[in-house]
Structures are given as C-alpha cells and as structure tokens.
Structure 1
Amino acid sequence: MTVSISRQHWQALLSELEEARRQRHLLTYRALIERLALPSPAMQTLTAALEHLAALDAQAERPLRSALVISQGASRLPRTGFFDCVTRLGRFNGASDGVAAASWHAGEVARVFEFSYPDDI
C-alpha cells in the first residue's frame, strides 16, 4: 500500500516540527496526528511522512527533525520503526530500545534544537 501526504499536511507537519524545535520540546505521534487532522490511515501517513523527512534530512547531512516525534509511553522515545529507519539511513546502529537508543535519540534531539533549517523544503 502506498501512503502519501497532501502538500497542505506536509507544510503543516514542517511548521509543527519547526515550532517544536524553536520551543525545544517534543511532540507525541498522537498529538501531531490531531494537530494536523490527518485523514485515515493517519498513523501510516504520519510515519511515511516522517521517514521521508528523515531521508531528506540525512541526504542533506542535517539532524533528523523526525526525532522530535515520540511515543506517549513511558520510554519517551520514538517508535521502533523510527530506529529501523535511521538504521537504514546509516545514522544509528543498535537495538531500538535500551540505553544506546535513548542516548542516540537524546543527542539527535539536542542537534535538532541547535540547527537552523532552511525554509525551502
């Protein structure tokens, strides 16, 4: 199944992530889906969009903005699929849970907070 996101939702996603970056806070998947009012299948659409953005950021050698989106569970980490994606992109190598993942994620979030992204994406 191919999942795509509308240009309007894509721009809104980028805006929400930029606002989170400026305010130095994280967003949950659920909160982002609600803010963007994504149509069904909302989680698959958001996941595909975040993975696409991660690929764009990695290709441009930028910190991965998709790291700002986390699960609302106790771990406060992104879902396992995020770590699968960043492993495919060559940014992380390890288990998607545990100390290595938490440490890498914290470092990536810090880099995102410090980076100024161009407006042209």
Structure 2
Amino acid sequence: MSVQILKRDWEKLLGVLDDARQQRHVLTYRAVIERVGLPSPAMQVLTAALEYLARLDAEAERPLRSALVVSQGASRLPRVGFFLHVQQLGLLEGEPDGLEAASWHSAEIARVYAHDYASAP
C-alpha cells in the first residue's frame, strides 16, 4: 500500500516544522498530525512524509527537519523507525535505540535550529 500526502498538507507540514524550528521546540507525532490535519491513516501518512523529507534534506546535505518530531514518552526521541531510516541514509552508526542514537538526535536538533531553510522545499 502506497501512502501519499496532499500538497496542501505537505506545505502545512513544512510550515509547522519551520515554526517549531524557529521557536526551538520539538513536536510530538500527535501534535503534528493535529496541526496539519492529516487524514486517516494519519500516522502512516506522517511517517511517509517525514521519511521523504529526511531523504530530501540528506541529499541536500541539510540537517534533518524530521528530527523535530518526537514521541510523547519521557525520552523525547523519535520512534526507532526514524533512526532505522537515518541509518539507511548513512547518517547514523550504532544501535537505533541506544545512546548513540540519542546523542546523534540531540546534535541533529541543534543543527536544525541553527540552519536556514529559506530556499529548501
């Protein structure tokens, strides 16, 4: 099953992530789904969109904006699937659910906050 995001939802997603970046905040998956108003199956749509965005950012050698989306749990980290995808992109070595992943994520968030995405899709 292929999951796609509507253009208007994609643009909203980019806006929501840019607002979070400018305010130096992270957002939960649920908050992003609600703010963008994603249709069902919302989590699959969001996951596919965030993976696509990560690929675009990685190919352009930009910090991954998708790192701003985290789980509601105490860890405040993305789900393991995010880290597996980051490994596939060649950006993370080590276990996707270990200290290396958490350290990488913390550094990536700092890079996202500092980057200007004005010309990015």
Q: Bin the TM-score by the shorter chain.
A: over 0.9
Distance in 1 separating the partners of 2:53 and 2:95: 22
Any stretches of 5+ residues in structure 1 without a counterpart?
none
Distance 1:119 1:42 in 2: 27
Cα deviation, 1:98-120, whole Å, max 9, x if unaligned, reads: 21111000000000000001345
Query: Could you give the per-residue CA deviations for residues 52-110 of structure 1, whole angstroms, max 9, x where no partner exists?
Result: 00000000000000000000011110001100110000011121222111100000000
Aligned to 1:106: 106
Partners of 1:105 and 1:41 in 2: how far apart?
A: 26
Partner of 1:48: 48
User: SS of the counterpart of 2:31?
Assistant: helix
Uncovered stretches (5+) of structure 2, i.e. residues with no partner: none
- Mapping for residues 1-121 of structure 1, pairs under 5 Å: 1-121=1-121
Query: What is the letter of the counterpart of residue 51 of structure 2?
Result: E
Normalized against structure 2, the TM-score is what?
0.97
Structure 2 counterpart of 1:112, which letter?
A: V
TM-score between the two structures when normalised by the length of structure 1? 0.97
CA distance in 1, matches of 2:50, 2:24: 18
Distance 1:120 1:63, change over 3 A: closer
State the percentage of identical aligned residues.
Answer: 63
Give the superposed CA RMSD: 0.8
Distance (whole Å) between structure 2 residues aligned to residue 80 and residue 119 of structure 1: 29
Q: What do residues 6-55 of structure 1 show as CA deviations (whole Å, max 9, x unaligned)?
A: 00000000000000000000000001001111111000000000000000
